[in-house]
Amino acid sequence: MKLTLQLRLLPDAEQSARLLATMERVNEAATFASRCGFDAGVFSQPSIHKLAYREIRDRFGLSAQMTVRAIGKTVECFHRSKKVCPTFKPHGAITYDERIFSFKGVDKVSLWALPEGRVIVPLIYGEYQKRRFDRIKGQADLVYRKGKFYLYCTVDLPDTAPVEPTDFLGVDLGVCNIATDSDGKRYSGSELKSVRFRHRRMRTKLQRIQTRAATRRLKKLAGKEQRFSRHRF
């Protein structure tokens, strides 16, 4: 069984600038590799590597392994579709493998970053991640979200023994009633409906005002309704 652990990075201002510059350069390189492969009609790692590797090294200043990871990002997109040439956002997630990142104890991680060299960044995580930290191996994704950096690491856990059911409960999902189970219990959607209406009215009002304060308020509201729904229901 595979699980993804989210680890929060705490870089200082200089480290943040280096990590952002690295993400931007890697995504530029991945977009360039996409174009090379798409125009040539080749979509595999070896084929795109042959076309783009040397120029990526020279043009974007990436290390050998980071160049391989940029090409790999392109190849993953081509696995999903070969009809469209993918492009990547400047701060899209980038992948590190064991050659370009390593943990320094349990509270720091070493990452390759521009200009060429390593940066050692403090990290924090909760008890859930702590219990599984020693199982982290292989690669990790560096993610930049709402001004914060995270490492998403995949861990392998042994499959638990299957649970033998002793009883069953049927559930019918709906709109007026979020759910009705086979025991006859109903879970009303009126509270969720009220929250959705309130948030929609607030968003409409703030979008009409268009001041800086209103924009800041809109950012705070982003995802709040979804989090309420997931937590409550």
pLDDT value for 3: 86
Residue 58 falls within a domain, yes or no?
yes
Mind listing the pLDDT tens digit for each residue in 95-119?
999 999 999 999 999 999 998 789 9
CA 168, 174, 180, 182 torsion-angle sign: negative
Domain end residue (candidates: 112, 133, 159): 159
Residue 218 falls within a domain, yes or no?
yes
pLDDT at 188 over 70: yes
Q: Are residues 87 and 120 in the same domain?
A: yes
Residue 165 falls within a domain, yes or no?
no
> 111-136 burial by CB neighbour count: b if 16+ within 10 A, else e?
bbbbeeeebebebebeeebeeeeeeb
pLDDT value for 92: 96
Q: Are residues 43 and 124 in the same domain?
A: yes
Residue 225: Cβ within 10 Å count: 17
- Strands ordered across the beta sheet of 171-173: 171-173, 177-181, 186-188
Q: pLDDT above 90 covers what percent of the chain?
A: 58
Q: Are residues 154 and 187 in the same domain?
A: no
Residue 66 falls within a domain, yes or no?
yes
pLDDT value for 193: 76
Q: Are residues 134 and 186 in the same domain?
A: no
Q: Are residues 146 and 31 in the same domain?
A: yes
pLDDT value for 175: 67
Which residue carries 């521009």 as its tokens?
114
Confidence band of 171 (pLDDT split at 50, 70, 90): confident
pLDDT at 162 over 70: no
Q: Are residues 146 and 209 in the same domain?
A: no
Q: Are residues 135 and 218 in the same domain?
A: no
Q: How far from 37 is each of 49, 51, 52, 127, CA to CA, in Å?
A: 9, 7, 8, 44
pLDDT value for 233: 58
Q: Which two tokens stand for residue 66?
A: 């980071």
For residue 227, give its domain range.
171-232
CA 221, 226, 230, 232 torsion-angle sign: positive
Once rounded to an integer, what is the mean pLDDT over residues 13-30?
Answer: 96
Domain end residue (candidates: 159, 186, 216): 159
Query: Does 227 or 100 have the greater pLDDT score?
Result: 100
Query: Does 115 or 229 have the greater pLDDT score?
Result: 115
Domain end residue (candidates: 116, 138, 159): 159
Residue 113 falls within a domain, yes or no?
yes
pLDDT value for 205: 86
Q: Are residues 141 and 212 in the same domain?
A: no
Mean pLDDT lowest among 16-30, 106-120, 148-162: 148-162
Confidence band of 232 (pLDDT split at 50, 70, 90): low
Q: Are residues 88 and 192 in the same domain?
A: no
Residue 166 falls within a domain, yes or no?
no
pTM for this predicted structure: 0.73
Q: How many structural domains does the chain have?
A: 2
